Structure 1
């Protein structure tokens, strides 16, 4: 398995244009959130501590484990961001006038339009066309910038 630095370097090769990077700062977290929202909408037929379990919780545990294998520090930031996404999904499901899955679908479509527009500006294909794992590297790539800014090593 490639190291985190190898993944981030390869991902960064197709993300050099300032406009494309800016678009990614908006669209990558939006896509991550929308996928969590889709999976959160799929309820499983059992409860834990009085709460209905959904597919997002199971997927999230697996994704955090993947990030933990890549970096013994970066996974904490991804855990925090993912937990916020789960909480927002819960709040939307409880209090929003549009079903979570429909809200997630709108965000997903708009964010992918933005992503492809950014890559058109960049003149390079999205990294996930080469390897599907880049769909998980995109959020880590952004988190790595936050870590560097805070002086936290990966």
Structure 2
């Protein structure tokens, strides 16, 4: 059970090029949205609540994020993912073809952006070496967003102490 700092440091070691991080700001939310769309069917009633596989997955990941030892980061990523789930659940009201088109298109475009970013990075995606990276991606993007707002300086300092600052990799001389 690695804590948020360890997870963020490991993930950050695969994400030091600012262009890669930028592609992740779009690609990861698209992937989370796509998963929400694709898992928004079927729905079933539990008491007065309408549940879908997407909401069950969101609940499980929320518990995971909130138990990584950084409550603010865990709550922020859970909130961001929750908003994406809410948006994703607006799609299934359309036809099955529209539902699949939205879900699959967002998924493919999101992953394409990830791989473009890793071309700039010159390194494979983190999840290739550790599948937990699939969960850490949304936490990393949320953390980077919060760092930009001035939150989490000690966490950012620890990441940079261990893996260095972000940069623009020289593509002409990798």
Q: Report if TM-score (shorter chain) is over 0.5.
A: yes
Does 2:147 match 1:148? Answer: yes
| Residues in 2 aligned to 1:116 and 1:99: alpha-carbon distance in whole angstroms | 26
| Maintained 8 Å contact 1:89/1:100 | no
| Residues in 2 aligned to 1:132 and 1:6: alpha-carbon distance in whole angstroms | 15
Judged with a 3 Å threshold, the aligned counterparts in structure 2 of structure 1 residues 122 and 66 are, in CA distance, closer, same or farther, namely same
| Residues in 2 aligned to 1:50 and 1:6: alpha-carbon distance in whole angstroms | 39
- Bigger Rg, structure 1 or 2: 2
Aligned length: 152
| Residues in 1 aligned to 2:7 and 2:49: alpha-carbon distance in whole angstroms | 36
Judged with a 3 Å threshold, the aligned counterparts in structure 2 of structure 1 residues 89 and 146 are, in CA distance, closer, same or farther, namely same
Query: How much is the aligned-residue C-alpha RMSD, in angstroms?
Result: 2.1
Does 2:55 match 1:57? Answer: yes
1:32-70 Cα deviation digits (max 9, x unpaired): 1111211113x15x3135554210111111000000111
1:90 is displaced (CA, Å) by 2.3
| Maintained 8 Å contact 1:33/1:85 | yes
Instruction: Give SS of 1:47's match.
Output: strand
Q: Which has the higher helix share?
A: 1
TM-score normalised by length of structure 1: 0.87
